[in-house]
Structure 1
Amino acid sequence: MRILKIFIFLLCIYQVAHSQNAKLKKANKLFANHSYVQAAELYEELKITEDSLLINLGDAYYYNSIMDKAVANYSKVISSQPLNSNDIYFKYAHALYATNALGNADSIMSILTKKKIHTPSFISKVNLANPFINELKKISVGSTSGDFGITYFGEKLAFSSLRNTNNQNYSWNDKPYLDLYSATFSDTGALENVIPFNEDVNSKTHESNAIITNDGKTLYFSRTSLKRVKIGNNKIATVRLFKAESIDDEWTNIQELPFSSELYSVQHPSLNKDNTKLYFSSDISGGKGSFDIYYVDINDHEYGKPVNLGESINTPHLEQFPFISNKGSLYFASNGLQGLGGLDIFMCEYHDEKWSTPLNLGNTINSNLDDFAYIVDSEKNTGFLSSNREGEDHLYYLKRVKNNRKIIVEGSVRDKNSKELLPETMVTLLGENNKVIDSFKVGKDGKYLFKVSPFGLFKIEGHRPFYIPNSISFETDDSGRIELNIELEIESYDDAEEIVVEKEDGYIYIELENIYFDLDKWDIKPDGGRTLDVLVNLMKKYPRMEVQLSAHTDNRSSFDYNMILSDNRAKSAMGYLLSKGIEKKRLSSIGYGESQLLVDCGKNCSEEEHSINRRCEFIIIK
């Protein structure tokens, strides 16, 4: 009897273990097939503790924007051991942004990007730099959760929606497959006349991002393949671009575009103003990373080869949902450029045959979750976007007003040669015609910061005592940069000029040949004039230099007599400089008589010692 009980107990243990293994195998298969909702449910049932499975569970929540649970599972793994995967840290950081854990998220992103990330200051800067402030309103009438990807569609709008509950559920999020709908937008902010596209367009799989050509005859849209193809270790149903023709007010003759493929995705079509270029997002091999923005030229229904927009726009992560405004600006969504968390909307301009630095549109548009599919009428300053900031995808209507935009100019002041910071340096911002805009002394950190307007010519000048003022000119444009980093270096007089020397007494001297005067005279002789001409040239070279001229005598004659004589000689030298055009406010003179003898030889001085004591000195006082 005892043996029978043991056997039954072991059998139960085996059945439980077998059941657990079967569930785990099923969960892993569901995850591999991107059935994230069902995979997460099974992982939770199994109470998994293995790091690789916790990462899977974190991913399952991450890809469905359930970020608090993504954080919980990623953190269990990361807290137990350092990981070699930057991808996991990247997703963890974005999940932290979504849960408002900015400090931790910024710390991780600072390591990943190898630059200091501080989101609050970044938001302040991009809000200053943006040309518009946006007012957003969620479209609640005529729209439901799960609507997204709204586009202009002739006089109407088109958008994607999972509202058709008759559709089969998509295993990724366990919600119906997407269909395309058209609608009008009322003055009251509602979607009206919502009509699904015909069945030639809306199939058994996903359709999204419908756009129409100017003549109304051609429709472009994204469609997900029904067939999964093995790419690497996974089976994937790629997204492809299709076009349709308008025949008798019906969309028909559906054709796949020639640059689509079952081996990579091509999605989110957008046309430029004259319909000569088709922009899209793709993970085609050879790009910068996950999904990049591309375009193809269109010439009489013929399509060129895909052209990547380059690394100024594309990153190793997601760049999606391109839109070209009627003024030629490119708007797109990215989670690879610095942002507020998740996908953010960026703008850039095309100048001199290249795209400008993308500008994050700031927190009047972007949130800490996904914001995407931005479109705008640049003439009316109204538009739409999609966002899951409230947990699910919704459509938003926007109005934008002009912003008194500013660009941050910052940097530090350093010694040109030693590279040491120079606290207390006066830094001045000048505009056109050298008009002073702002000025202040830098603190102990040597840093300065100015706010300037775009489309201007400016100059930053650094000035401090005993240094040569230096300035850097710069121009602001609409390149998308939110800040300019300008390091200002200034050089001391004694580093720049061999005849300028700092001596042990702490004063900075201009070392010139001695000036000789006739006995009891103070007029400047020709030799003395040539010496002073060197000083004249130096002071003209440095217009802010101020100099004190001092004259000294030997100890012959009385003390009072020597004081008067030296004072006259100093004033005479100063008069010579004034006659050569040096401003009086830059000069001062003083006679020291015999009070500062270099050789204190008493009454037994030699002529050589007397000549050493008779001298003129030139001290830089500013």
Structure 2
Amino acid sequence: MKKVYLFIFLLVTGFSGFGQRATLKRANTLFANKSYVEAAVMYQQLDQTQEVLQNLGDSYYYNSQMSSAKTPYTKLYLTYTDSVPPEVLFRYANTLKALNDYEEGDKIMGKYLGYAVDTKKFKENLKKIVPYNYEIKRMTENTSTGDFGMNFYGDKVVFASFRNSENPTYHWNQRPYLDLYEARVSPDKELKDIKPFSDSINTKTHESNATFSSDGKTMYFSRTNDKRVLIDDVEIATVKLYRAELVDGSWTNVTVLPFCSDLFSTQHPMLNKDETRLYFSSDRPGTMGSFDIYYVNITGDSFGEPVNMGPTINTKHREQFPYIDSDETLYFASDGHQGLGGLDIFMSKIFDGFYSKPLNLGETINTGMDDFSYVLNEDEETGYLSSNRDVGDNLYSFTRKENPRRFIVTGDVRDKNSKNLLPGTTVTLFDEQGTVVGQMVVGEDAEYIFNTEPNTKYKIEAYRDFYIPTVEDLVTNDDGRIEFNIELEIESYDDAEEIVVTKDDGYIYIELENIYFDFNKWDIKPQAARTLDVLVNLLKKYDRMEIQLGAHTDNRASEEYNLRLSRNRAAATLEYLVENGIDRRRLRSKGYGESQPLVKCGDNCTEEEHSINRRCEFLILK
């Protein structure tokens, strides 16, 4: 009998083990259904293919487990560098930044964006131009409750939390579903008398991000659907916005807002001060990419059509958690604008009905992790934010203090002829003595910004490889104007000069008459000197241009002989330029011998074909 029991036990445990055995199909199903904790456990047990490494890194990334995400992302990048999808490079770069590895993170982000990124310099520039510095205090030492999304509720606050262990478990992170809680804030910024919000608001699904009318009788909040719908072959529970009314001390008339849908998410509501407009984030059709900031106008009990706040505010990445102050200044979280890593908090002021380029609030409030859900008590210059900088989402209070008033100059850089933006351009600010007082490499929006002083003369220079540097003068008169806008336009060499051309190989050349040498010689003949004098004048005209002198021969001698001969001719050409006043550091010489014929005629070349192959080329390096 004992043997029978043992057999049954082994049979059952065997089937149980088989059911939980890691397979790629099961891991991918969990991943597709956003059960990232379980998916990560499965992927850890599988062979580390490109697909497994990418999904394993993503599973950790989506739960903000950056230390765990780094290992598979790094192996993925080192092993499959050329085939890593761009969006994974973006996540890998932010993972490294979250771990304070800005040097490597900038390198990966630069590869994703296609131009250089320098977060250290970016942070230094922000110190000079942010309007406020922040003093931050964590509001609770409990790291297990997952508190975030705080907002004002009369003399109390309301926030979302995982605290209710009786709620069902959310597969994404294996935590309970979110509920709303209310609390008092003590003078030393601690949460007191924490208790669940109304039972008519909290359900067995997620509730978060409440915003209230000034009389406290109307609230808007986010709630996740209690059912999933099939979207792109994956069952997803989207988020909707709800409104509720306080009647005789109870929250009632809980209704979904009419512009929500089962097919996309609408979340993070925020009322403006006069309660005529509701701001929110959504991934509805028509977004720039991921989540965008929208608003709807409110007229009585009616809502207008959602309005996307446009490309100045929104990017192809995430823009979420809007907050609007009494001056209509917009605060929001984004990982699409240039930042320190993850979600950063930005502000955008409105001028003549248009919102300005968002300004990162700087490192006194932002970190390499996610920083979001900013709300402000303008009278006291205090407020709250949420962040996962210290193991999971937590609430933080802040006090902001004015950064000393500074004058700024801002603008963008464009191609003079096409008017296209030129990200990656270096913009330098010089004082009257020619000393560099600021320098930055412009980002995707090609915009620069510098701190300046009043009543001071400056020069601003825009420079990038293969373009002619442009310099503009600026005088910051102290006439009450603190912001100066200068659009910089630079012209490429091949637009400015007829003899500069971009060829089919993608390289930029200076086209001159061919330079001829006597047989077996490399002396510069008078005719060649006249041609090279044109090159000398061009190099003197553009004192940052650097070139490579490439000499080629025909194939009428041995390969070794031709290589040596071409090197000597290239070197002789270089020396001629140096003798005529061109800095040697701007020149390179290279002999190609017979290895790169323009006419591939083999042993049957005509004299004309030989002369075509026997040439000197001038390649622009920068």
Same-fold status (TM-score > 0.5): yes
Q: How do 1:116-515 residues align onto structure 2 when only pairs under 5 Å count?
A: 116-140=116-140, 145-406=145-406, 409=409, 439-442=432-435, 452=451, 460=458, 471-472=473-474
**Counterpart residue identity of residue 341, structure 2:** G
Instruction: Using the TM superposition, give the Cα deviation of residue 366 of structure 1 relative to its aligned residue in structure 2, in angstroms.
Output: 0.3
Instruction: Using the TM superposition, give the Cα deviation of residue 265 of structure 1 relative to its aligned residue in structure 2, in angstroms.
Output: 0.2
Matched, 1:57 2:50: no
Structure 2 residues not aligned, in runs of 5+:
1-13, 417-427, 442-447, 462-470, 492-622
- Name the SS for the 1:326 alignment partner: coil
Q: Is the 8 A contact 1:96 1:104 kept in 2?
A: yes
Evaluate the alpha carbon distance shift between residue 480 and residue 314 of structure 1 in structure 2; reply closer, same or farther with a 3 A threshold: farther
| Stretch of structure 1 that moved more, 65-74 or 352-361 | 65-74
**Counterpart residue identity of residue 471, structure 1:** D
Partner Cα separation in structure 1 for residue 129 and residue 486 of structure 2: 11
Q: How do 1:32-111 residues align onto structure 2 when only pairs under 5 Å count?
A: 32-44=32-44, 46-81=45-80, 82-83=82-83, 85-111=85-111
Evaluate the alpha carbon distance shift between residue 428 and residue 384 of structure 1 in structure 2; reply closer, same or farther with a 3 A threshold: closer
Partner Cα separation in structure 2 for residue 131 and residue 344 of structure 1: 16
Q: Is the 8 A contact 1:369 1:387 kept in 2?
A: yes
Q: Is the 8 A contact 2:408 2:483 kept in 1?
A: no
Partner Cα separation in structure 1 for residue 111 and residue 221 of structure 2: 39
Instruction: Using the TM superposition, give the Cα deviation of residue 470 of structure 1 relative to its aligned residue in structure 2, in angstroms.
Output: 7.4
Partner Cα separation in structure 2 for residue 224 and residue 377 of structure 1: 29
Partner Cα separation in structure 1 for residue 175 and residue 480 of structure 2: 42
Instruction: Using the TM superposition, give the Cα deviation of residue 487 of structure 1 relative to its aligned residue in structure 2, in angstroms.
Output: 7.4
Partner Cα separation in structure 1 for residue 435 and residue 179 of structure 2: 59
- Name the SS for the 2:83 alignment partner: coil
**Counterpart residue identity of residue 91, structure 2:** K
- Name the SS for the 1:93 alignment partner: helix
Evaluate the alpha carbon distance shift between residue 470 and residue 32 of structure 1 in structure 2; reply closer, same or farther with a 3 A threshold: closer
Q: Is the 8 A contact 2:76 2:84 kept in 1?
A: no
Instruction: Provide the identity percentage.
Output: 44
Residues 527-574 of structure 1 deviation map (CA, whole Å, 9 limit, x = unaligned): xxxxxxxxxxxxxxxxxxxxxxxxxxxxxxxxxxxxxxxxxxxxxxxx
Q: Is the 8 A contact 1:141 1:191 kept in 2?
A: no
Partner Cα separation in structure 2 for residue 109 and residue 248 of structure 1: 54
Counterpart of 1:574 in structure 2 is none
**Counterpart residue identity of residue 116, structure 1:** A
Partner Cα separation in structure 2 for residue 470 and residue 204 of structure 1: 62
- Name the SS for the 2:273 alignment partner: coil
Partner Cα separation in structure 2 for residue 428 and residue 78 of structure 1: 37
Partner Cα separation in structure 2 for residue 458 and residue 337 of structure 1: 31
Partner Cα separation in structure 1 for residue 485 and residue 46 of structure 2: 48
Residues 244-279 of structure 1 deviation map (CA, whole Å, 9 limit, x = unaligned): 010111111110000010000000000111000000
**Counterpart residue identity of residue 317, structure 1:** H
Instruction: Using the TM superposition, give the Cα deviation of residue 16 of structure 1 relative to its aligned residue in structure 2, in angstroms.
Output: 13
- Name the SS for the 1:245 alignment partner: strand
- What value does the CA root-mean-square deviation take over the aligned residues? 3.6
Q: How do 1:441-590 residues align onto structure 2 when only pairs under 5 Å count?
A: 441-442=434-435, 452=451, 460=458, 471-472=473-474
Evaluate the alpha carbon distance shift between residue 157 and residue 440 of structure 1 in structure 2; reply closer, same or farther with a 3 A threshold: same
Evaluate the alpha carbon distance shift between residue 330 and residue 479 of structure 1 in structure 2; reply closer, same or farther with a 3 A threshold: farther
Q: Is the 8 A contact 1:348 1:479 kept in 2?
A: no
Instruction: Using the TM superposition, give the Cα deviation of residue 475 of structure 1 relative to its aligned residue in structure 2, in angstroms.
Output: 8.6
Evaluate the alpha carbon distance shift between residue 270 and residue 478 of structure 1 in structure 2; reply closer, same or farther with a 3 A threshold: farther
Q: Is the 8 A contact 1:327 1:378 kept in 2?
A: no
Q: Is the 8 A contact 1:142 1:190 kept in 2?
A: no
Instruction: Using the TM superposition, give the Cα deviation of residue 377 of structure 1 relative to its aligned residue in structure 2, in angstroms.
Output: 1.4
Instruction: Using the TM superposition, give the Cα deviation of residue 155 of structure 1 relative to its aligned residue in structure 2, in angstroms.
Output: 2.5
Partner Cα separation in structure 1 for residue 440 and residue 208 of structure 2: 50
Structure 1 residues not aligned, in runs of 5+:
1-13, 417-426, 430-437, 464-468, 490-622
Instruction: Using the TM superposition, give the Cα deviation of residue 143 of structure 1 relative to its aligned residue in structure 2, in angstroms.
Output: 8.7
Q: Is the 8 A contact 1:129 1:482 kept in 2?
A: no
Residues 272-308 of structure 1 deviation map (CA, whole Å, 9 limit, x = unaligned): 1100000000000111110000000000110000000
Partner Cα separation in structure 2 for residue 38 and residue 60 of structure 1: 9
| Structure having the higher Rg | 1
**Counterpart residue identity of residue 64, structure 1:** N
Partner Cα separation in structure 2 for residue 31 and residue 475 of structure 1: 59
Evaluate the alpha carbon distance shift between residue 36 and residue 405 of structure 1 in structure 2; reply closer, same or farther with a 3 A threshold: farther
- Number of residue-to-residue matches in the alignment: 447
Counterpart of 1:540 in structure 2 is none
Partner Cα separation in structure 1 for residue 477 and residue 337 of structure 2: 24
Instruction: Using the TM superposition, give the Cα deviation of residue 194 of structure 1 relative to its aligned residue in structure 2, in angstroms.
Output: 1.7
Q: Is the 8 A contact 1:142 1:191 kept in 2?
A: no
- Name the SS for the 1:440 alignment partner: coil
Residues 495-532 of structure 1 deviation map (CA, whole Å, 9 limit, x = unaligned): xxxxxxxxxxxxxxxxxxxxxxxxxxxxxxxxxxxxxx
Partner Cα separation in structure 2 for residue 264 and residue 19 of structure 1: 34
Partner Cα separation in structure 2 for residue 140 and residue 184 of structure 1: 13
Instruction: Using the TM superposition, give the Cα deviation of residue 115 of structure 1 relative to its aligned residue in structure 2, in angstroms.
Output: 3.3
Partner Cα separation in structure 2 for residue 457 and residue 17 of structure 1: 77
Instruction: Using the TM superposition, give the Cα deviation of residue 83 of structure 1 relative to its aligned residue in structure 2, in angstroms.
Output: 2.0
- Name the SS for the 2:338 alignment partner: coil
Partner Cα separation in structure 2 for residue 325 and residue 299 of structure 1: 20
Partner Cα separation in structure 1 for residue 477 and residue 378 of structure 2: 26
Partner Cα separation in structure 1 for residue 122 and residue 23 of structure 2: 46
Evaluate the alpha carbon distance shift between residue 481 and residue 397 of structure 1 in structure 2; reply closer, same or farther with a 3 A threshold: farther
TM-score normalized with structure 2 length: 0.66
Evaluate the alpha carbon distance shift between residue 475 and residue 42 of structure 1 in structure 2; reply closer, same or farther with a 3 A threshold: farther
**Counterpart residue identity of residue 268, structure 1:** H
Residues 373-422 of structure 1 deviation map (CA, whole Å, 9 limit, x = unaligned): 011112211000000001211100100111115466599xxxx9xxxxxx
Evaluate the alpha carbon distance shift between residue 21 and residue 331 of structure 1 in structure 2; reply closer, same or farther with a 3 A threshold: same
Evaluate the alpha carbon distance shift between residue 19 and residue 176 of structure 1 in structure 2; reply closer, same or farther with a 3 A threshold: closer
Instruction: Using the TM superposition, give the Cα deviation of residue 50 of structure 1 relative to its aligned residue in structure 2, in angstroms.
Output: 1.5
Evaluate the alpha carbon distance shift between residue 341 and residue 280 of structure 1 in structure 2; reply closer, same or farther with a 3 A threshold: same
